[in-house]
Amino acid sequence: IQASTTIDQYGGIGRAFYLFDTSSIPDTNTVSAATLSLYGTGKIDVPGWTPNTDIYTSSPASNTALVLADYDQVGTTSQTGSPISYASWSTTGYNDFTFNATGIGNISKTGVSKFSSRNAQYDVANSPPTYFSGGNYSQPSSSFADTAGTTQDPKLVVTYSLPVAASRYSIIVG
């Protein structure tokens, strides 16, 4: 979230997109748990807004290239039910978002699972923070997949189980 230098105006609010190819999960399997992890790289909060972060769905037009119109292609229902507070945001390790039933239900077994991170208390709630002049900003930050190397990439860990096979019984009648 960034304040503008004009009183009671804001310069912007950031949203991030995370897409994972989960098509390798067989259609007949049952997803029982999922955790999306973002590697924290920093945080700054000059205005004192203490923004939290949570995970939501997204629906960008392309799976490989974001465009400006994708900014509004984000959901408003939490996939975790528990945002990570500004105070708890790790800047030296992974921040784990454990999915609730809603988030688990949005894991695609036939294609790409699409999520976004957003601020819950201001962005999703559509409630601006108290204005703080001077163009200052507040944000937790994390690595993206295009960061050099792979040790800090966003990751989605999905737990699933095979379907229970139908039992077969034979009866010998003599």
Please report, rounded to a whole number, the percentage of residues in the chain having pLDDT higher than 90. Answer: 76
Q: Name every residue whose Cβ is closer than 8 Å to that of residue 132 and which is 6 or more positions away in sequence.
A: 3, 46, 47, 48, 49
Q: What is the DSSP letter of 50?
A: -
Can you tell me whether residue 68 is helix, strand or coil?
helix
Contact present, 120 and 114 (Cβ < 8 Å): no
Largest CA distance in the chain: 92
Task: Tell which wins on pLDDT, 2 or 56.
Answer: 56
- In 10 A of CB 84, how many CB atoms? 21
- Locus of tokens 């949570």: 54
Give the residue ranges of DSSP H helices in the chain.
101-105
pTM: 0.90
Please report, rounded to a whole number, the percentage of residues in the chain having pLDDT higher than 70. Answer: 94
Token representation of residue 155: 């990751």
- In 10 A of CB 135, how many CB atoms? 13
Q: Is the pLDDT of residue 166 over 80?
A: no
Distance CA 13, CA 22 (A): 29
- Judged on CB neighbours under 10 Å (0-12, 13-18, 19+), 97 is buried
Contact present, 119 and 47 (Cβ < 8 Å): no
Mean pLDDT value across residues 131-157: 90
